[in-house]
Amino acid sequence: MSPTESASRQIAGELRARTSSGALGPGALLPSEPELAALHRVSRQTARSALQILEHEGLVTVLPRRGRIVRRQHRLTWNLSTFELPGSTASSSVDAWTTDISGQGYDPTGGTLDVERITPPPDVAQVLGLDPNTDTCVVRRRVRHVDGRPAVISDDYFDLRVVEGTELAEPEDTTRENVLKEAGYEQVYDVDEIIVRMPTPDETRRLDIQPGTPVAEHRRTGLTPDHRSVRLMVSVIPGDTIVLRYVIPT
Amino acid sequence: MSPTESASRQIAGELRARTSSGALGPGALLPSEPELAALHRVSRQTARSALQILEHEGLVTVLPRRGRIVRRQHRLTWNLSTFELPGSTASSSVDAWTTDISGQGYDPTGGTLDVERITPPPDVAQVLGLDPNTDTCVVRRRVRHVDGRPAVISDDYFDLRVVEGTELAEPEDTTRENVLKEAGYEQVYDVDEIIVRMPTPDETRRLDIQPGTPVAEHRRTGLTPDHRSVRLMVSVIPGDTIVLRYVIPT
DNA sequence: GAGTGGTCTAGACCACGTA
DNA sequence: ACGTGGTCTAGACCACTCG
């Protein structure tokens, strides 16, 4: 026999069933900790554990001093491929982020741009082929916003020798793309890597996400025809708000 | 002033710093709950909470009855684009999974294939354009393994009318990709959507993953030239073991 | 048998927003 | 003022494995 489930898991399971059956729809208020404890004749801690199981599953959000509600599951789509389906309205030359978000009825404005020259962190140095001791890289840090709230962390790394003298080394908000090509570094492939993990405490703070929300770390490396990496873009994307999308011709 | 951090968070932060500074490398044993409690003069529950914060961040794994160790962060790469960098050795016609995994020195064999005819779940019905009440779909369920352990859940859905009479409707493990084309449904685009979320209890069990490990839900829709969806592949991919990769020509 | 984590209890104090 | 969740304590019992 399977060992009986712990009380907290049983209670969590019961509530989970009520959400997936629709009895507790998105936005519905769950029982408070003392209520749930009394209902099931357990201590408040046990009831609390049950609710936290659901929080960690992403089913439930805490509204401070209001209680816990069932989460809405709506997500935005971020198109990461340059290729578009015929008939789509996207103009792929401008920043895809802006097009995507406003195309879905949201406001992509806001956020900050911060350009710095730093000694490259080890992982960046390796990708860009830099010496962490002697080389300098330019990082363009950005927090993209949606409807006025932080939505994505997006850091762009370049070798200083590549972008020196171009607008990419300056704190201007360029809509970019052929800057690198004009500097003699034609970019012909992007290699995207997507890592799924929990956020660091710092990321949780910067993105203002609920604890327990996983993120995608999206690392896009821009390659020249001779396979040199000229650009590394690292984005941190909260899983509860954004879907990544690729269109691939077969 | 910022309100002082709670004791459990402070202790977690201290341990986190010791891991990122390298003082606690991968595999290192962390202090046990009673040890940590005594060290910081707090109750066992508080010490436990601190350790659980790190578990939920994915930094730490529990070895039953041994203690908690710092996780290794190594991940496999799964190539999801058909396009390959010139010079790569992949033969893109066969199952990319097998090529990818064995190319990285792991064993992709094992697992099960289970073919069923079911009434389509609502999300599948919508994508494939089926009527949930009258239509039937064929699902090919698979749990892909790596080195003998479950690694990825991969369910393939088809309209029964499309695959009836082909090997895709039978419980055979075919590696051929042009079955659909021969049946008159040429597939010219794949649309991939990647959702980052926490696993359901069922997925946690089937994938045998640590609680607190996030997953990517990868949904690949195969489109014909007239934008009909003929195939939906849904994969559930544990974040702690696999990196997704796309190569995109610019 | 000692030591690990897993679970639970019954209390307590706190900050803080809503009503 | 009341009720919410956030945190903490000091105890307890359990299943299990390792030496």
Q: For every residue of chain B, which 3-state class applies, written as one string? A: CCCCCCHHHHHHHHHHHHHHCCCCCCCCECCCHHHHHHHHCCCHHHHHHHHHHHHHCCCEEEECCCEEEECCCCCEEEECCCCCCCCCCCCCCCCHHHHHHHHCCCCCCCEEEEEEEECCCHHHHHHHCCCCCCCCEEEEEEEEEECCEEEEEEEEEEEHHHHCCCHHHCCCCCCCCCHHHHCCCCCCEEEEEEEEECCCHHHHHHHCCCCCCCEEEEEEEEECCCCCEEEEEEEEEECCCEEEEEEEEC
Name beta bridge partners: A36: none
What pLDDT score does B2 carry? 46
Q: Which residue has the higher pLDDT, A145 or A91?
A: A145
**Interface contact flag, A85 B189, Cβ < 8 Å:** yes
**Interface contact flag, A187 B250, Cβ < 8 Å:** yes
d(CA B40, CA B31): 11
Q: Is A245 on the interface with B (CB under 8 A)?
A: yes
Under 8 Å CB pairs connecting chains A and B tally to: 142
What pLDDT score does A90 carry? 55
- The model's pLDDT over A10-51, given as tens digits with 9 standing for 90+, comes to 999 999 999 989 899 999 999 999 999 999 999 999 999 999
Tokens coding B46: 């508080």
Mean pLDDT of B122-145: 94
Mean pLDDT of B21-41: 93
d(CA B15, CA B40): 12
The spacing between the Cα labelled CA in B40 and the C1' in D5, in angstroms, equals 25
Interface test with B, best of A10, A228, A235, A246 (most B CBs within 10 A): A246
Percentage, residues of chain B above pLDDT 70:
94
What pLDDT score does B150 carry? 92
Q: Is residue A45's beta carbon less than 7 angstroms from any atom in nucleic acid strand D?
A: yes
Q: Which residue has the higher pLDDT, B92 or A35?
A: A35
Q: Is B6 on the interface with A (CB under 8 A)?
A: no
Phi, psi of B167 (to 5 degrees): -70, -15
What pLDDT score does A60 carry? 94
Residue nearest to nucleotide D6 (CA to C1'): B6
**Interface contact flag, B57 A200, Cβ < 8 Å:** yes
- The model's pLDDT over A155-212, given as tens digits with 9 standing for 90+, comes to 999 999 998 888 888 887 776 567 777 777 888 889 999 999 999 999 999 999 988 8
Predicted structure pTM score:
0.92
What pLDDT score does B68 carry? 96
User: Is the pLDDT at A147 greater than 60, yes or no?
Assistant: yes
**Interface contact flag, B192 A246, Cβ < 8 Å:** yes
How close does chain A come to B55, measured CA to CA in Å? 10
What pLDDT score does B175 carry? 66
Mean pLDDT of B24-37: 93
What pLDDT score does A167 carry? 85
d(CA A176, CA A156): 12
What pLDDT score does B203 carry? 94
- The model's pLDDT over A74-130, given as tens digits with 9 standing for 90+, comes to 999 999 987 776 666 655 555 778 888 999 999 988 788 999 999 999 999 999 999
Instruction: Name the band, by pLDDT with cuts 50, 70 and 90, for residue B1.
Output: very low
Q: Is A244 on the interface with B (CB under 8 A)?
A: yes
What pLDDT score does B148 carry? 87
What pLDDT score does A22 carry? 85
How close does chain B come to A133, measured CA to CA in Å? 18
Mean pLDDT of A144-149: 91
The spacing between the Cα labelled CA in A11 and the C1' in C19, in angstroms, equals 30
Mean pLDDT of B118-145: 94
**Mean pLDDT of all residues in chain B?**
89
- The model's pLDDT over B157-206, given as tens digits with 9 standing for 90+, comes to 999 999 888 888 888 777 666 777 777 788 888 999 999 999 999 999 99
The radius of gyration computed from the CA coordinates of chain A, to the nearest angstrom, equals 23
What pLDDT score does B110 carry? 78
What pLDDT score does B181 carry? 74
Instruction: Name the band, by pLDDT with cuts 50, 70 and 90, for residue B112.
Output: confident
Mean pLDDT of B1-15: 84
Tokens coding A144: 């993209």
In the stretch 87-116 of chain B, residues with CB closer than 8 A to chain A read 87
Nearest CA in chain A to B74: A195
Mind spelling out the 3-state secondary structure of chain A?
A: CCCCCCHHHHHHHHHHHHHHCCCCCCCCECCCHHHHHHHHCCCHHHHHHHHHHHHHCCCEEEECCCEEEECCCCCEEEECCCCCCCCCCCCCCCCHHHHHHHHCCCCCCCEEEEEEEECCCHHHHHHHCCCCCCCCEEEEEEEEEECCEEEEEEEEEEEHHHHCCCHHHCCCCCCCCCHHHHCCCCCCEEEEEEEEECCCHHHHHHHCCCCCCCEEEEEEEEECCCCCEEEEEEEEEECCCEEEEEEEEC
